[in-house]
Structure 1
């Protein structure tokens, strides 16, 4: 199993736990232990988010820009100096 699959399974487990805790809170009300479990869940979710940022490759930012292979217009180089030549 890859790290990405492990992270996905952990994310799914946290979502399932959140759903179960919300149902429990709706049934028993704002009981102290349920609220503490929800706080723990929030902390686990934040930790997982940080871990994902560290171990998963970052997606490419922005869109790809195609650069043509055509020659530049000679006027583009009109005021350029030839450094390193001579």
Structure 2
């Protein structure tokens, strides 16, 4: 399932949750607990809107472009004054 499909599914579930909270509020009244649930539902709605806005437009199955790294050795002049990494420099023993 693509990212957009997942977001759409979440949106449908959130819409159903909103309807259920409204029905619940009609049955039990608008007490503190129901107001908190309604507030949490609205926060979820806002968070989903932010997630939709930040979601990439490209399909999730698209892979990034491959970068080819040549097999030829690098120019040693690039590291002329640098020490070798790893177990130590050429003229010293490893710890």
TM range (shorter): 0.5 to 0.7
Task: Specify the alignment match of 1:40 in structure 2.
Answer: 40
Question: Given the two structures, how large is their TM-score scaled by the length of structure 1?
Answer: 0.63
- Answering whether residue 26 of structure 2 is matched by residue 26 of structure 1, we say yes
Larger Rg: 1 or 2? 2
Matched-pair contact (CA < 8 Å) for 1:4–1:56:
no
Cα distance, 1:31 vs. partner?
Answer: 1.7
Q: TM-score, normalised by structure 2?
A: 0.58
CA distance in 1, matches of 2:51, 2:36: 23
Q: Distance in 1 between matches of 2:41 and 2:56?
A: 22
Q: Is the 8 Å Cα contact of residues 25 and 34 (structure 1) preserved in structure 2?
A: yes
Structure 2: runs of 5+ lacking an equivalent: 58-95
Measured after TM superposition, the shift of residue 56 of structure 1 is 4.8
Deviation beyond 3 Å, 4+ runs, structure 1: none
Return 5+ residue gaps in structure 1 as ranges.
58-86
Which residues in structure 2 correspond to 1:1-86 (within 5 Å)?
A: 1-57=1-57
CA RMSD, aligned part only?
Answer: 0.9
